Structure 1
Amino acid sequence: MFKGRQFTAEIILWAVRWYLQFPISYRDLERMFSDRGIQVDHTTLFRWIQAYAPELEKRIRPHLRMTNGSWRVDETYIRVKGEWVYLYRAVDATGQTVDFLLSPKRDAAAARCFFRKALKQPHTVNPRTVTVDKNAAYPVAATAIKRAGELWRFAKLRQVKFLNNIVEQDHRRIKRLVRPGLGFKTFVTASRAIAGYEIMAMVRKGQVAIALANEMKAQSELIAALFRVAA
């Protein structure tokens, strides 16, 4: 994974971990490196995030704790090349992240794709209740995946906006990380960075059994172990 890179794996993973957890820009991170006597350009940091954020998500997912069967689903907005796209997100009743999906559209097809993606994850269960807002696309999507046998046929869809406060509050965590970047240039670069934001948010919430919430040393050791490098 790190062959041919100018910097060591330890330095790269340190940069990736900090950028994905804290609201800093690439130029901020460049200055942080400079303060430690390491000269690395902000464009190089961007390439590291694009390369390693999706890989980090893939390697952490098998270690996530199981979420419960009460889902709170909502979508928020992310700007990509001057236009709004939609980030579908779900948390369970305790605030643990179920899954996420960046979509160019906000319709029944997009909602259906999100539900299918979430249901396939090893850390999720088929929900008994799915709480959503008044978006008319959700009942259509839920009916379609029930008919296909993917969603439990007795699962209850609740369109009660105030019950979704927990997921709406959780959007702030991701928005806070996106803001310093001043928007994304392409849908692909947005998808890769957001995958990193979301998976590190799960780590910080304590969704990985071997890395306690907000234990920075344990998180560093976890990521080093996943990439088989020294912590």
Structure 2
Amino acid sequence: MRNWCDRFGAQFARRAKAVRGKACSTWHLDEVFVKLRGEPYVLCRAVDEHGTELDVLLQKRRDNAAAKRFFRKVLRSHPVPQKIVTDQLRSYPAAKAEVPEPAGVKNLLVKASTRVNNRAEKSHQPTRRRERQMQGFRDPRRTQAFLSRFGPIRQHFALPRHQMKAACHRAELQARLLAWQCWAGVSSLGILQ
């Protein structure tokens, strides 16, 4: 499975990102601690206002330089947002002031009790689930590569089922499976084209 992910994962993730369109005007930034062989690492994640994962970055530290690195990585592939919602971590406003692109963006620092940054908090759940299934992550480089591919592919198939009728859900899922088969070069019979 790991060899398959290394060989085809990046290509599928690029295609899934291209299909979903451009990001919304509000970003939610959050971080979560992940242990890799007993050492703590910080997994930074950016999602848009609809919960679509924009990017992830696994880092050793949680300081101003790490926040700047994360801003630059996200801005390479997405346009500058109108508003950034973060928790009360002080490194985000400091890094935003030093990186030229988002310097004029409105930054909304939220308290943990207001639940404004709940989109980013909820986006960590699939990663935690996958971490349990894989019995923990081990190597930082492989973890970064896996998570940056896992997010777009998972979101390609994750539909808001509670907001759709059953017939609409089946039709949309069928369309996404056909797109996946097209990317993989597999016909509906399972034969390589």
Q: Quickly name the TM-score band, shorter chain normalised.
A: 0.7 to 0.9
Percent sequence identity over aligned pairs: 26
Measure, in 2, the Cα distance between the counterparts of 1:185 and 1:71. 29
Deviation by residue 1:43-66 (Cα, 9 ceiling, x = unmatched): xx2322233223322332222222
Aligned match of 1:218: 175
Measure, in 2, the Cα distance between the counterparts of 1:175 and 1:201. 13
Shift of 1:141: 0.8
Q: 1:213 to 1:49 in 2, by over 3 A?
A: farther
Aligned match of 1:47: 3
1:67 partner SS: coil
Aligned match of 1:59: 15
Query: Is 1:107 matched with 2:63?
Result: yes
Shift of 1:137: 0.9
State how many pairs are aligned.
177
Query: Is 1:186 matched with 2:139?
Result: yes
Shift of 1:201: 2.9
Measure, in 2, the Cα distance between the counterparts of 1:110 and 1:224. 38
Pick the aligned partner of 1:167 from 94, 102, 120.
Answer: 120
Deviation by residue 1:63-117 (Cα, 9 ceiling, x = unmatched): 2222211111001122222212121111222222222222222221221122122
Q: 1:143 to 1:213 in 2, by over 3 A?
A: farther
Q: 1:95 to 1:213 in 2, by over 3 A?
A: farther
RMSD, matched Cα: 2.3
Pick the aligned partner of 1:83 from 28, 39, 48.
Answer: 39
The alignment's TM-score, normalised by the length of structure 2, stands at: 0.80
Residues 70, 93 of structure 1: 8 Å contact kept: yes
Letter in 1 for 2:70: F
Shift of 1:229: 3.3
Pick the aligned partner of 1:154 from 99, 104, 111.
Answer: 104
Q: Show structure 1 runs of 5+ residues with no match.
A: 1-44
Aligned match of 1:196: 149
The alignment's TM-score, normalised by the length of structure 1, stands at: 0.68
Measure, in 1, the Cα distance between the counterparts of 2:59 and 2:7. 21
Letter in 2 for 1:133: D
Displacement over 6 Å in runs of 4+? none
Residues 96, 205 of structure 1: 8 Å contact kept: no
Residues 44, 58 of structure 2: 8 Å contact kept: yes
1:90 partner SS: strand
